[in-house]
Amino acid sequence: MSTQQPLVLVADDEPRITKLVSIALGEEGFRVITAAGGEEALRKAEEYRPDIVLLDIVMPDLDGIEVMRQLRTSRPVPVILLTAKGSTADKAKGLDLGADDYVAKPFHPDELAARVRAVVRRSSGAAPGSGIVAFDDVEIDLERRMVTRDGQLVQLSRTEWLLLQHLAANAGKVVLHTELLTKVWGPEYRDDLQYLRVWVSRVRRKLGAQPGDPGRIRTFQGIGYLLDVEGVGVVADSAQPDVARPDVAQPG
């Protein structure tokens, strides 16, 4: 990424929203460009190559999810979706298609700036691990940052990859909730356990677990998660682990 401050593209058909976001992010040191619709957002993304894009889901020409889909065909730019409160289906669809985060309207400018900082920070890339972690029909290549299942490439969003990467790099060890939240999202998220549960559930599905089945990502209530590569029993989210507490992976 450039040594300049990150460039943010904000697309929303409400001028008051783009103005509010521009002021809030500008005060935090970001460079900001705006677009009043989806088509304009695509043109400006191609011209300016932003470091991150904020997209309103509901826009009159192209909605934010379609804009994100088209953006991702050219390069993996991070995307935060701006959503109306209660649009649960749109949020889920956006996350399924690879959005890095979402912010519900109305939002506080400080919250938005914090989420933008967190996504930019993790999109700049954590140092990759090395080696391959394999179990069942899944292979996680830490060096090449690739996951295959039954020989087929698994499509992961950046956030999903960073979460799985950290679990895989510590395979067989319980990784603390706070460590995962801090490493993947940033210290401002360290206590947001519900947020972590949602993303762990998404990664489980990508690895082939059925709804309600934790698959290979075991839950240790009140402690953290473990990527099980040894074939031992699994523990559902709703159950307490009926095992002695294992060594817990320490931060770092």
Which helix (H) or strand (E) covers residue 56, if one does? strand 52-56
CATH 1.10.10.10 domain span(s) along the chain:
132-249
DSSP designation for 4: S
Share of the chain above pLDDT 90, in %: 34
- Residues in the chain predicted with pLDDT less than 70, given as ranges, are 1-4, 85-91, 123-130, 231-252
As its CATH architecture, domain 7-123 has 3-Layer(aba) Sandwich (3.40)
Question: What's the pLDDT score for residue 236?
Answer: 37
pLDDT at 252: 31
> Rounded mean pLDDT of the chain?
81
Predicted pLDDT of residue 249: 33
3-state secondary structure of 235: coil
pLDDT at 217 (0 to 100): 95
Domain 132-249 has CATH 3.40.1550.10: no
Whether the Cβ atoms of residue 26 and residue 7 lie closer than 8 Å to each other: no
pTM of the model: 0.55
Residue limits of CATH 3.40.50.2300 in the chain: 7-123
- Give me the residues paired with residue 55 across strands: 11, 81
